[in-house]
Amino acid sequence: MTRLLAHAKLTLSLRVTGRRADGFHLIDAEMVSLDLADELEIEPAEQSSIEVSGPFAVGVPTDETNLCLRALVLAGRTARVRLRKSIPHGGGLGGGSADAAAVLRWAEFDDLTGASRLGADIPFCLVGGRARVTGIGEIVEPQPDRHLDVTLVIPPLSSSTPAVYAAWDALGGPTGERRNDLETAAIAVTPELAGWRDAIRERCGAAPVLAGSGATWFVEGRHGDALAGLTDEGARVVETSTLGA
- Enzyme catalytic residues: 9, 121
* R_g (Cα) of the chain, nearest Å: 17
Give the C-alpha separation, 52 to 134, whole Å: 31
In sign, the C-alpha dihedral spanning 90, 161, 138, 245 is negative
Phi, psi of 192 (to 5 degrees): -60, -20
Q: Where are the alpha helices (DSSP H) in the chain?
A: 67-75, 95-106, 112-116, 122-127, 161-170, 183-189, 192-204, 224-227
Cis status of the peptide bond prior to 235, with omega within 30 of 0: no
Neighbouring residues of 61: CB distance < 8 A, sequence distance ≥ 6 = none
Q: Which residues of 144-155 are buried (b: 16+ CB within 10 A; e: fewer)?
A: eeeebebbbbbb
CA distances from 156 to 98, 153, 181, 214 (A): 21, 10, 22, 11
Give the C-alpha separation, 61 to 113, whole Å: 24
DSSP, collapsed to helix, strand or coil, labels residue 111 as coil
